[in-house]
Amino acid sequence: MILAFDTSCDDTSVAFYKDSEVYSNIISSQNDIHAKFGGVIPELAARRHAEVIAYLTEEALNRVNADLRDVNYVAVTVGPGLLPSLLVGVSFAKALAYANDLPIIPVNHIEGHIFAPFFNRRIEYPFLSLVVSGGHTHLFFVKNFGNYQLIGKTLDDAVGEAFDKVARVLGLEYPGGPVIDRLSKSGDPYKFKIPKGLERDGSYNFSFSGVKTHVKNLVKKLGGLSKTQIVDIAASFQKASIDILVEKTIRAAEELNVKTVSVSGGVSANSYLREAFIEASRKYDLKVVLPEREMTTDNALMIAFVAYLDVSRATKDYFKIEADPSLRLI
Ligand code: KG4
Ligand code: ZN
């Protein structure tokens, strides 16, 4: 039985995992704090993590009628992420493990995202894993647990970051992804021609800064935007950025002869992305694995799940567990 923590960025999350039926996943969003700044302020994020983490831990245990005596392992995200944020979760997890004489399992946040779609499902190796969030746009070839090859990544902005920046240019709220997703449903995705980044370079890499700049210039040229123009730009931007993700991932699956593709991270909540991947899976006879909505954004259940997949990583050498903002997966 695992008690897990994730405080890598702006959401505080605590989860308890026993088996496929008994688990909890508490996620406390900080959007209220950061919205007015249009982005995450690390020190404010850390302060809120510190305020709520003890209460959320009680809540995660209460939800499944458990208490600390039921816990066998503590798991925690040690990186990558924002240092002040990571420090709160890591310090709390270490203190709790030490005080209760429990082994602790350090987890890489990206590994959490990679396995989130497979929670309560059979893992079929090898698979391609597209991790798309506010901080990451990575395409991994996953041969086995612990055996990852990075075959593509963004050369500049992460796709979620592009959604957030474009939303700001359009005068929409933060975070931009969910708003653009919602507004795009009533927009015309063919109204504005927005170029896709690195479309024909032959690699599996991505680029989103050009798309963002294109929207910025378009908005400047159009002057004051009507409501219709806002939803049409949102839909056209969304189509351009998601289509390239789908195209390159599917091409990689074909070229590497991989039959299973998974998508995770905050942007995998996008409804157009989900539809596009499902459609592509039919067309190319691939299996596409998408996480439950609750497991798309940062959460501690995915961290508990990775810990569960390999408990041999557990240690009681507490002083060796340290937050590492630029922790690498490979
Ligand atoms: O995984 P996540 O919660 O945190 C990071 O590790 O970054 O991802 C947050 C990102 C934000 O950029 C947000 O705008 C984006 O995911 N996002 C979406 C949607 N929901 C969240 N992007 C597009 N469509 C959505 N529905
Ligand atoms: Zn994340």
> Averaged in consecutive runs of 10 residues, what is the pLDDT profile of the chain (330 residues)?
97 96 96 89 96 98 97 98 98 98 98 97 97 96 98 98 96 95 98 94 96 96 96 98 98 98 98 98 98 95 98 97 96
**57 is in which domain, residue-wise?**
2-114+295-320
Atom in ligand 1 nearest the alpha carbon of residue 296: 1
Question: Among residues 330, 326, 328, 329, which one has the least CA distance to residue 86?
Answer: 326
Contact between 22 and 98 (Cβ < 8 Å):
no
Quick one: pLDDT at residue 38?
84
- Whether residue 175 is found in the same domain as residue 140: yes
The answer to whether position 325 is within a domain reads no
* Residue 196 shares a structural domain with residue 134: yes
Ligand 1 site, residue 133, Cβ cutoff 6 A: yes
| Smallest CA separation from ligand 1 atom 3, residue | 297
Q: Whose CA is nearest to atom 14 of ligand 1?
A: 177
pLDDT at 39: 86
Quick one: which ligand is closest to 266's CA? 1
Structural contact between residues 57 and 89, judged by C-beta atoms closer than 8 angstroms: no
Q: Say if residue 278 is in the same domain as residue 307.
A: no
User: How many domains in the chain?
Assistant: 2
Answer whether 12 contacts ligand 1 (Cβ < 6 A). Answer: no
Cα gap 67→239, rounded to integer Å: 46
**Can you state the percent helix, strand and coil of the chain, rounding each to 5?**
50, 20, 35
Q: What is the pLDDT of residue 54?
A: 98
Domain membership flag for residue 311: yes
| CATH number of the structural domain spanning residue 263 | 3.30.420.40
Q: Ligand 1: which of 9, 82, 133 to mutate, judged by most atoms within 8 Å of the beta carbon?
A: 133
**Cα 134 to middle of ligand 1, angstroms:** 5
Find out whether 265 and 132 touch, Cβ atoms under 8 Å: yes
Ligand 1, from 211, 243, 297: best to mutate by most atoms within 8 Å of Cβ?
297
Residue 189 dihedral angles phi and psi, to the nearest 5°: -70, -10
Q: Judge whether 328 lies within some domain.
A: no
User: Would you call 298 helix, strand, or coil by DSSP?
Assistant: coil
Q: Is the CB of 178 under 6 A from ligand 1?
A: yes
Q: 252 and 179 in one domain?
A: yes
Domain presence at residue 330: no
Q: How many CA atoms lie within 13 A of 184 on its CB side?
A: 26
- How many helices and strands (H and E) does the chain possess? 10, 10
Q: Is 11 helix (H, G, I), strand (E, B) or coil?
A: coil
Count of C-beta atoms within a 10 Å radius of residue 263:
27
β-sheet with 137-144: strand ranges across: 147-153, 137-144, 127-132, 260-264, 287-289
N-terminal to C-terminal alpha carbon distance within the chain: 28
For ligand 1, mutation pick of 267, 273, 299 (most atoms within 8 Å of CB): 267
